[in-house]
A and B are shown apart, each in its own frame.
Chain A
Amino acid sequence: MLRIHNIEVVYSDVILVLRGVSLEVPQGAIVALLGANGAGKSTTLKAVSGLLRSQQGEVTRGSIEFHGERIDRRAPDEIVRMGIVQVLEGRPLFQHLTVEENLLTGALFRKAAPRALRQDLDEVYSYFPRLAEFRHRTAGYLSGGEQQMVVIGRALMAKPRLMLLDEPSLGLAPLLVQSIFQVIRRINQESGVSMLIVEQNANVALQISEHAYVMELGRIVLDGPSAELQENADIKEFYLGLTQVGERKSYREVKHYRRRKRWLG
């Protein structure tokens, strides 16, 4: 459904961030995008959602297609209307609005009837029962995990066909990460929303996804079915923190790591 074809992204007309990224999200799939800091993962997501432009970024080459339609020249609100919603990194919500108001902002563009909105809210609350309890609280005072729920719930209110999730696990306790990812999988299965997930936590991301891409320095360097990547020696070493034997890595091998990274990039 989403096809990114060999795109190049430039910030402020000079800084080349993506150099020929191609990837594909099939209908109903969960696809993971892994990579170190600064590899260009978030930029890839913003290229899709159109949010690049407000940061002086631009897709200078290649194309992005959604259901066969070019979207790389469209405004962010048009792209949301087409069914692509990005959940930004760092769970930014509208702090001074209540939880329910935050959720409602996600549906603003649809101009839905109040009763339909009620139903959509109930659907979000069924995924995140915690939020129903806090619906009238000021969102800024929620805990990190609850804020992440609000942000995902808000995206869900847009009735998207494709969700772009930018590091949903950022700064959350391992247990919470597990439960957030469980809900993400449920949303994918029950509401049929396709997902493109950017993650540093390669472990969880590879478990939940069907296919994964690995980025380094603005390029895709590796891709394949997640189950296969989990067994890939490089992935194990660089992203899962295991040596080839499957033990925790020691820092003695950092030199080797550097050498391998250069080769990969």
Chain B
Amino acid sequence: MNWPLVPQQLITGILNGGVIGLIALGIVLIYKSSEVFNFAHGHMVMWGAFLTWWFAGAAETGSELLNLPLWAAVMGALAVSVLLGLLIERMALRPMTGQPLLSIILMTLGLAQLLEGLASIAFGVEPKSNFPAPFSPGDVLVIPFPGAFGDAIRLKYTLVVAFGVALLGALLLIWFFNRTRTGLAMRATSENHEVAQSVGINVSRVFALSWALAGMVATLGGVLMAILTGVSLNLATVVLVAFPAILLGGLESLGGAVLGGVLVGLSQALVQAARPIEVRNSAEIAPYILLLIVLIIRPEGLFGQKRIERV
């Protein structure tokens, strides 16, 4: 272990984890209302980032139509992503109602490919480095910490803000699910569609709503990721770190997704801090090893729902 690096990596890991958690939330949201595991979520994240980039008029060609400030671009992207979510639900998922769950899940895989193709047509395949960032990469918060590398912990402003936004979004969603009427309708629908119908819940409206919400959450996550890493088609692969976060936290738990994200971030950062990094990509593998261990001990994840079986 490279001890002087550890305090820095601990904090960075937690902050990064918050963003991963927010992306994981979007998948949990859909799973909670319809039991569909949305493999296209990463591509919705990517679309959110590209839309923001487009609204901000950051095209390199110089022929930008809109030149909105970042906050307005985000609003625009959120609005479009809500429509995108609704459209996906209407065109792709509603016709599949009543079909086996597996076919619906495979359909989301196809959807991912479609979204990727459409994005490359609409925005081009080259990575964009000119995402409108609110802070320059040089803006760091220096916290003195004796014993750490350089006797201080350096935090990028962008990372701190991203973590704050992710946390706020997660808390809002948790409040929404547990305290509002619509949240209760969503939780009820996730358990049993037919029974939900029998008590007068409009199930298709609940699905549409959860996809719209997931679109918004994805966009938010996409913007935060884009600020940290820039926009490219590869952004969609962030779900690969979100998957272990979801399974760690438990598929049905919003709080668990966030915590899972933080655990994933931490495990990645700490493996990076370990001195002998002989295994290539060890930081990417670490969360999955952690996941394996947790799943052996708690198959439903840390906060997932235990299957209720009465004899």
Given the complex of chains A and B, what is the CA–CA distance between A101 and B188 in angstroms? Answer: 9
- Contact B199–A158 (Cβ < 8 Å): yes
Interface string of B181-204 (1 = CB under 8 A from A): 100110110011111111111110
In the complex, chain A residues whose CB is within 8 Å of the CB of B196: 105
- With an 8 Å Cβ cutoff, the count of chain A residues facing the other chain is 33
Task: Indicate whether A80 sits within 8 Å of B310 (C-beta atoms), given known contacts A94-B188, A94-B191, A105-B188.
Answer: no
B308 at the interface (CB under 8 A from A): yes
Task: Indicate whether A76 sits within 8 Å of B192 (C-beta atoms), given known contacts A56-B98, A97-B187.
Answer: no
Task: Indicate whether A76 sits within 8 Å of B308 (C-beta atoms), given known contacts A54-B97, A54-B98, A56-B98.
Answer: no
B202 partner, pick from A77, A97, A158, beta carbons under 8 A: A77
A92 at the interface (CB under 8 A from B): yes
Given the complex of chains A and B, what is the CA–CA distance between A96 and B197 in angstroms? Answer: 17
List A residues 70-105 near B (Cβ within 8 Å).
75-77, 80-81, 85-88, 92-97, 101, 104-105
In the complex, chain B residues whose CB is within 8 Å of the CB of A49: 198
For the complex, would chain B's binding face be called helix, strand, loop or mixed by DSSP majority? Answer: helix
Given the complex of chains A and B, what is the CA–CA distance between A54 and B201 in angstroms? Answer: 14
Task: Indicate whether A109 sits within 8 Å of B188 (C-beta atoms), given known contacts A96-B308, A140-B308, A140-B310.
Answer: no
Closest Cβ neighbor of B181 among chain A residues: A108
Given the complex of chains A and B, what is the CA–CA distance between A103 and B270 in angstroms? Answer: 47
A54 partner, pick from B191, B193, B200, B202, beta carbons under 8 A: B193
List A residues 36-83 near B (Cβ within 8 Å).
49, 51, 54-56, 75-77, 80-81
Given the complex of chains A and B, what is the CA–CA distance between A93 and B195 in angstroms? Answer: 7
A92 partner, pick from B184, B195, B308, beta carbons under 8 A: B195
A145 at the interface (CB under 8 A from B): no
In the complex, chain B residues whose CB is within 8 Å of the CB of A96: 187, 191, 252, 305, 308
Q: In whole Å, how far is B109's beta carbon from the nearest beta carbon of chain A?
A: 25
B195 partner, pick from A80, A94, A101, beta carbons under 8 A: A94
In the complex, chain B residues whose CB is within 8 Å of the CB of A106: 199-200
Given the complex of chains A and B, what is the CA–CA distance between A88 and B193 in angstroms? Answer: 12
Given the complex of chains A and B, what is the CA–CA distance between A55 and B194 in angstroms? Answer: 9
Given the complex of chains A and B, what is the CA–CA distance between A55 and B200 in angstroms? Answer: 17
In the complex, chain B residues whose CB is within 8 Å of the CB of A161: none
- Contact A97–B310 (Cβ < 8 Å): no
Closest Cβ neighbor of A155 among chain B residues: B199
A85 partner, pick from B187, B188, B198, B203, beta carbons under 8 A: B198
B200 partner, pick from A56, A80, A141, beta carbons under 8 A: A80
In the complex, chain B residues whose CB is within 8 Å of the CB of A55: 98
- Contact B188–A51 (Cβ < 8 Å): no
A258 at the interface (CB under 8 A from B): no
Given the complex of chains A and B, what is the CA–CA distance between A88 and B192 in angstroms? Answer: 12
- Contact A105–B201 (Cβ < 8 Å): yes
A111 at the interface (CB under 8 A from B): yes
In the complex, chain B residues whose CB is within 8 Å of the CB of A22: none
Task: Indicate whether A94 sits within 8 Å of B310 (C-beta atoms), given known contacts A76-B200, A77-B201, A81-B200.
Answer: no
Closest Cβ neighbor of B185 among chain A residues: A108
- Contact A51–B194 (Cβ < 8 Å): yes
Closest Cβ neighbor of B201 among chain A residues: A108
Interface string of B130-173 (1 = CB under 8 A from A): 00000000000000000000000000000000000000000000
In the complex, chain A residues whose CB is within 8 Å of the CB of B188: 94, 97, 105, 108
In the complex, chain A residues whose CB is within 8 Å of the CB of B252: 96
A230 at the interface (CB under 8 A from B): no
B98, B196, B199 interface centre (most CB from chain A within 10 Å): B199
B198 partner, pick from A51, A95, A111, beta carbons under 8 A: A51
A138 at the interface (CB under 8 A from B): yes
Using a CB–CB cutoff of 8 Å, the interface residues on chain A facing chain B are 49, 51, 54-56, 75-77, 80-81, 85-88, 92-97, 101, 104-106, 108-109, 111, 138, 140-141, 154-155, 158
Cβ contacts A to B, 26 pairs, < 8 Å? A51-B194, A51-B197, A54-B98, A55-B98, A76-B198, A80-B200, A81-B200, A87-B198, A92-B194, A92-B195, A94-B187, A94-B188, A94-B192, A101-B187, A104-B184, A105-B188, A108-B181, A108-B199, A108-B200, A109-B199, A109-B200, A109-B201, A109-B202, A140-B308, A140-B310, A158-B200
Using a CB–CB cutoff of 8 Å, the interface residues on chain B facing chain A are 97-98, 181, 184-185, 187-188, 191-203, 252, 305, 308, 310
Closest 5 CB pairs of A and B: A80-B200, A140-B308, A109-B200, A76-B197, A94-B191
In addition to A49-B198, A51-B194, A54-B197, 6 A-B residue pairs with Cβ atoms within 8 Å of each other are A55-B98, A77-B201, A88-B194, A94-B192, A105-B201, A111-B181
